[in-house]
Amino acid sequence: MRRRILGFGAALITFVAVAGCGSSDSDAGDSSSSGGGKTTTVKVGIIPIVDVAPLYLGQEKGFFSSRGIKLEMVPAQGGAAIVPGVVSGQFKFGFSNTTSLMVAQVKGVPVKSVVNGAASNGKVGGDVTAVMVKKDSPVKTAKDLAGRTVAVNTLQNIGDTTVRESVRKAGGDPSEVKFVEIPFDQMPAAVDDGRVDAAWMGEPAQTVAKAQGARVVASPFAETDPKLTVATYFTSAQFAQQNPDLVKKFTEAMTESLEYASAHPDEARQTLTTYTKISGDVLKNLILPSWPADVDMASLEKLAALSEKDGLFGDKKPDLNALFS
């Protein structure tokens, strides 16, 4: 396990090296003229999960094309691939959870959040992520997770930090929880066959696990802060400085997309079928996050304090105003 943690740190160091290799070309992307308008193709590094539904919905509704932006979504495994991809210029924008962006910043990676991505819906017992256990598990509350093994998708990140807060608030000792790294899609099986005592699941893993009889014992995002800003869209500091007009247009289009998705959740849900294999009862029953247009700075300050307590930042602190405002 320590080897994986050290590997993550090494990857972040690589981010810094990659930053020096980014293109200095101020071109925002491949551009073409059609009639009197100019269209710019913009690659966005994303994780194909429920949280990015507004991006696809906004593309479908023409919020980006009306501003001269042609989106090209590039799926990635996670922030470990998206952050260096943005810094190097492979992607113009990327989607990442807020903890990963804070960690990148304190490691010297020049990233800048430009618009909100997703947030907790604030519903304990019905949030977009949950800690789940087998139906017959002796674990009844987050307090009972102390001394047990909990799966998260990435070690030393937003998952284990918020799970610890749930345990802490329930009266348990968060230092006694043992975390292991398992991909989201493998978590329902890992819980069902007893390889782990519990797992912190996103969607659709959470809905799949429920169909197998699993129970929710904690809602870490909502219990950390009911308005927790979970993820944002970001770019490199260099790109933001060199292409302010494009960044402004992307931010405006994404904001319109978030507002539309919030007002039309059924359309946002249906959009999932265009970029995932989710369908049927899973599509019907999965829990959606909240999609506010603005980040909640108070929730990010709380998350940063918890991450600092967990030792994610070393001897530095993230500059939240520089990163998120």
Indicate the pLDDT class of residue 325, thresholds 50, 70 and 90.
confident
Distance, in Å, from the CA atom of 193 to the CA atom of 186, rounded to the nearest integer, reads 11
Distance, in Å, from the CA atom of 258 to the CA atom of 295, rounded to the nearest integer, reads 12
Query: Is 49 a residue whose pLDDT tops 80?
Result: yes
> Where in the chain are all domains bearing CATH 3.40.190.10?
2-120+227-324, 130-224
Q: What is the mean pLDDT of residues 51-60?
A: 97
Report the range of poorest mean pLDDT among 1-15, 74-88, 165-179, 270-284.
1-15
Task: For residue range 242-299, list pLDDT tens digits in order.
Answer: 999 999 999 999 999 999 999 999 999 999 999 999 999 999 999 999 999 999 999 9
**Between 3.40.50.720, 3.30.465.10, 1.10.3720.10, 3.40.190.10, what CATH number should domain 2-120+227-324 receive?**
3.40.190.10
Picking from 83, 74, 85, 90, the residue whose alpha carbon sits closest to that of residue 112 is 83
Question: Who contacts 39 (Cβ-Cβ below 8 Å, separation ≥6)?
Answer: 31, 32, 33, 65, 68, 69, 70
Query: Is 310 a residue whose pLDDT tops 90?
Result: yes
- Burial code of 134-152, b = ≥16 C-beta within 10 A, e = fewer? beebebeebbbbbebebbb
Question: Looking at residue 20, what is its pLDDT?
Answer: 38
What is the helix (H) or strand (E) element at residue 229, kind and residue range? strand 229-236
31 or 311, higher pLDDT: 311
Percent of the chain with pLDDT over 90: 84
Class of the domain covering 130-224: alpha beta
